[in-house]
Amino acid sequence: MSLRLRSVAVVGVEAVGPYALVRVRREGLEPGVPGQFFMLRPAGLLLPRPMSLCLAPPAELGFLVDPIGPGTRALAELGPGERVDVLGPLGNGFELALVDEDNQTEPTGIREHANIPMEKVVRDRTDHLYPEFNTHIPGSPLPESPDRFNRFGRFQQVFEAHYVDRARGTCKLPSYVDLYYPNDHGGGANDIHPQGPAWDFTRFVQDNDAALGLTIDLISKSPCWKDTVIFVVEDDTQNGLDHVDGYRSLFLSVSPWVKRENVTKAHISLASIFKTVDLILGIPPLNTYDAAATDLRSLFTSRPDFSTYDAITPTFVAGAQIKKSWKTLTRNIDFSEPDRSETSLAAAIRRSEGLPRRRHAPRAH
């Protein structure tokens, strides 16, 4: 439908505190979605005023107006039956989550709260059934409940259904894919199984490792393997000091075109990953960090090894191997969002796993 100013009738104007709720008949206008706006112009004014959509009952549109200037006062003073010029809807609208995840919710819808417009190209290429951060959802198939929903299982389902044609030997993966396995953050002892058996931190990390291994197994045995590189990185250093400092993080590069069993001595960072992605996709640096970073070309080889990878199922800790202290140590930790209780979680991991507390060397005076 082409957009143009349409003259529509005013249904009524109601006072809502200091504001005025202006209701007009739709009369051929599209209803719009939350976050979109319309341009409204009362008779006698030259320029229309932008107004966010407030209500969209059947056959009507509603706008909440703050009468602070001549244009908005003219809108607030309209009477039933008067005409107003309307153009819209305009803008992208908001993407709003309809449900929240909790330990009683199976993943059935969008999981990411977003209060800014989501571009159509991103929405159309986003899996709206893939769970966000939720420590009640396993990352890999559970031996005791193999049919239970898990993150790898969902990725495998989408991958096989939409992005690979094994009969023809073709791969239709997008040029860039972002895949999220968050269970190495840990979780509550009974988050996965409210009635037991309990998990400890080791079991959560094993779940995360299994999901990653299965993902590489899946891709390496598909037509996508020949021109794919997988970069594995933590979302942050997770407050995890080691023998060097607290800024170091794990990084793995997996591909037929990557040197096998190679440990680089070069200093690399997250910006190095972004820069390498820029180079692979043939796009310019997005900012000065990308431009100045060391890229990852030293990890690659001109002699590819197309051997596939066979995932190794971890020997999952269970029964008496589960550290009972984890339940006590995490009793007051908030796992509703990543890093909500970062320092408390780091202390719980250290004590549960028997890791020494890092001591700083005394400074010379």
**Tokens describing residue 179:** 């895949």
State which of 90, 118, 145 marks the end of a domain.
90
Supply the pTM of this predicted model.
0.69
Residue 88 phi, psi (nearest 5): 155, -175
Q: Do 10 and 1 contact (CB within 8 A), yes or no?
A: no
Per-residue tens of pLDDT for the chain, all 365 residues: 456 789 999 999 999 888 999 999 998 888 887 778 999 998 878 888 899 888 888 889 999 999 988 899 999 999 999 999 999 898 877 655 444 455 555 554 334 555 455 677 777 888 878 888 889 999 999 999 999 999 999 999 999 999 999 999 999 999 999 999 999 989 999 999 999 999 999 999 999 999 999 999 999 999 999 999 999 998 766 555 666 766 778 899 999 999 999 999 888 888 999 999 999 999 998 888 889 999 999 999 999 999 999 999 999 999 999 999 999 999 999 988 887 888 888 889 989 988 877 665 565 55
Residues 188 and 318 reside in one and the same domain: yes
Taking only the tens place, the pLDDT of each residue in 157-197 is: 999 999 999 999 999 999 999 999 999 989 999 999 999 99
Q: Do 12 and 60 contact (CB within 8 A), yes or no?
A: no
Residue with tokens 């079991």: 203
* CATH number for the domain that contains residue 85: 2.40.30.10
Domain that holds residue 144: 136-353
- β-pairing verdict for 6-16 and 60-65: unpaired
User: Residue 280: inside a domain, yes or no?
Assistant: yes
User: Residue 365: inside a domain, yes or no?
Assistant: no
Residues 140 and 84 reside in one and the same domain: no
Residues 68 and 158 reside in one and the same domain: no
Residues 56 and 176 reside in one and the same domain: no
**Tokens describing residue 281:** 């996709």
